[in-house]
Structure 1
Amino acid sequence: MSEIKINKDLQVAMKAALKAGEVIMQVYDTAFNVEIKDDKSPLTEADKKANDVINSFLKPTQIPIISEENKQTGYDIRKNWDTCWIVDPVDGTKEFIKRNGEFTVNIAFVNNGKPEHGVIYVPVSKTLYYADVIEQKAFKAELTSHDVEITEVLKLSNPLQTREDNEVTKVVGSRSHMSQETLDFVEALKTTGQQVEIVSKGSSLKFCLVAEGNADIYPRFAPTMEWDTAAGQAICNAVGVDVISEDTKAPLLYNKENLLNPWFVVSKSEN
């Protein structure tokens, strides 16, 4: 495989994600406490420690940061940002608490509302996904340690490739509690004569399932925030997979006044 060359900001995000994964696993292996935030979502020591680590890598870039665990900057200031980082230190805190391994570190670089670089790290399996949308390249590296040089990551990287058209359409959904809207979406696919199979994953790994060819489509008809989706959208966009708002029928945009996303569907571009 030819040598992979990656943008310096993407390298910073990769290093931050790896180091965050290391501190997350230090907490994961202890009897950690769980707090409940004002929005009723859970928070652990891992979220806080990972956020501190990621900030320590990203702040020197002098690019502003939107993180789930940072105090949010007002839109009167944010609206003037051309670029920003969008971060979820532990995406899938509920999965972390269940200790099922399906949680991630999400870091995205956004330019004028569009994700240009994305990193998703799975600390339990030491699997790193990363992408450069401008270069239209996305990779997956299976690592043996969190403490690894970027040159070694590049050697272990394989390009992501989406699924070719198959008789069975694989839809990303929940095994245990599919929303009525998602069930209706699946039924609509079936009426076109398609065989449908449901595949399930936690956190931003749902995006990775489509980007790496283990699923065809991911309908999300439930609330998400920008930090839940920005890195996953970058990884998908880099391999020709769209993340389309149900409201606008256009790609999701970032650093919006309201950081809540509309419902969306992830699927291969029809172009």
Structure 2
Amino acid sequence: MSNGDTSKYLAIAKQAAREAGRVILKIYDSGDYQRYSKDDESPVTSADYLANDIIQAALAKQTPDIPVMSEEQNNGDLQSRQHWKRYWLIDPIDGTQEFVARSGDFAVNIALVEDNQPVVGVIYWPAGDSMYYASKGNGAFKETPKEDKRISVRKLDDPVHGVVVLAISRRQSREKVMSRMNSSRTYQALPLGSCSLKACFIAEGKADVFLRIGVTGEWDTGASQCIVTEAGGKILAANFEPLTYNKRNSLTNPDFVVLGDPSVDWQEVVKYQQEDNHEKS
């Protein structure tokens, strides 16, 4: 993809995310929405569906030939999508539980995937009016009303013994998280909401690592992976293998880990146990 194409797609994604985010925030502030439960008992709201419609319409208008994969639609089986060279990957509201709980920690995720890897990533945080974005080979950035600056992961003063800032879910047992970390290290816990905002905080150097145990979809990591990678970090499966996109019938992610400072031996820090994978966090 040329730099011109990258800039065009990035601008389209940012505009769509901001447009959806404004509507989501208006609904959030008013409290005027309906709540439903999916088959797995996770929450979904009328705001999720409306945001999905807004993003889908914006992308269809600007890029009618690029298919869209979304959390809030039937995406078909691998046979019907395996020949997609390029597609949009969206999560209209990442952190619906946080939206319902009124913590403010929810975001709009839009990624462009090419050859099965995210090449554009946009995450808009409506409550914080902050836009995190990146494109392959061009760095990661955070845009607020006051500034638009390049971001990067935090470098630990001492990669072996330095304090590690651990992003954790607001609704997760801190003891369970700590039990999956090397007890010889020193940690500072940073409670946050949605998966994508935890990843963004790592990308901008406010946290160092996040281990996600539980069910997520490829739309939960696509935009984050582009942003974190361009900021100097990594997102991997929790067994430290690469995540995949549109290569399986299932769009469910394995447990995964978001990593900051590349000089840290993260496999020494994160003591992931495969038997943990039935838990949700």
Residue correspondence of structure 1 range 1-271 to structure 2 within 5 A: 7-30=7-30, 31-60=32-61, 61=63, 62-135=65-138, 137-143=139-145, 156-166=147-157, 167-178=162-173, 182-186=177-181, 188=182, 190-191=183-184, 194-203=185-194, 204-247=196-239, 249-257=240-248, 258-268=250-260, 269-270=262-263
The residue type paired with residue 50 of structure 1 is A
The verdict on how the C-alpha distance between 1:230 and 1:211 changes in structure 2, with shifts beyond 3 A counting, is same
Deviations 1:128-178 (A, max 9, x none): 11001222x11111138xxxxxxxxxxx31111211214211111135523
Rounded Cα–Cα distance in structure 1 between residues aligned with 2:174 and 2:26: 35
SS of equivalent to 2:143: strand
Whole-angstrom distance in 2 between the partners of 1:181 and 1:246: 15
Moved over 4 A (4+): none
Structure 1 residue 16 displacement after superposition: 0.2
Distance 1:93 1:246 in 2: 23
Structure 2's unaligned 5+ residue stretches are: 265-281
- 1:221 is displaced (CA, Å) by 2.0
What one-letter code is carried by the residue in structure 2 that aligns with 1:44? T
Decide which moves more: 252-261 or 204-213: 252-261
* SS of match in other structure, 1:29: helix
SS in 1 for 2:110: strand
Using the alignment, how far apart are the partners of 1:174 and 1:210 within structure 2? 14
* Alpha-carbon distance in 1 for matches of 2:254, 2:122: 22
Q: 2:215 touches 2:252 (CA, 8 Å); kept in 1? A: yes
2: distance between equivalents of 1:78 and 1:13?
21
Q: CA deviation at 1:89?
A: 0.3
Matched residue type, 2:141:
F
Contact 1:16 1:57 (C-alpha < 8 Å) held by counterparts = yes
Contact 1:20 1:105 in 2 (8 A): yes
The answer as to whether partners of 1:51 and 1:89 remain within 8 angstroms in 2 is: yes
In structure 1, what residue type is equivalent to 2:16?
Answer: A
State the Cα deviation string for residues 107-142 of structure 1 (Å, max 9, x = none).
Answer: 00111221111000011121111001222x111111
Q: Secondary structure at the match of 1:100?
A: coil
Contact 2:152–2:232 (8 Å) recurs in 1: no
> Which ranges of structure 1 fall in alignment gaps of 5 or more residues?
145-155
Q: Which amino acid aligns with 2:257?
A: V
Residue in structure 2 matched with residue 151 of structure 1 by the alignment: none
- Structure 1 stretch displaced more, 172-181 or 97-106: 172-181
Residues in 2 aligned to 1:259 and 1:229: alpha-carbon distance in whole angstroms: 11
Cα distance in 2 for residues equivalent to 1:129 and 1:239: 11
| TM-score (normalizing by structure 2) | 0.83
What's the offset of the Cα at 1:95? 0.5
Identity of aligned residues (%): 38
Q: CA RMSD in A?
A: 2.0
On the 8 A contact 1:171/1:199 being kept in 2, the answer is yes
Match of 2:273 in 1: none
The amino acid that maps onto 2:236 is I
Are 1:88 and 1:227, in contact at CA under 8 Å, matched by a contact in 2?
Answer: yes
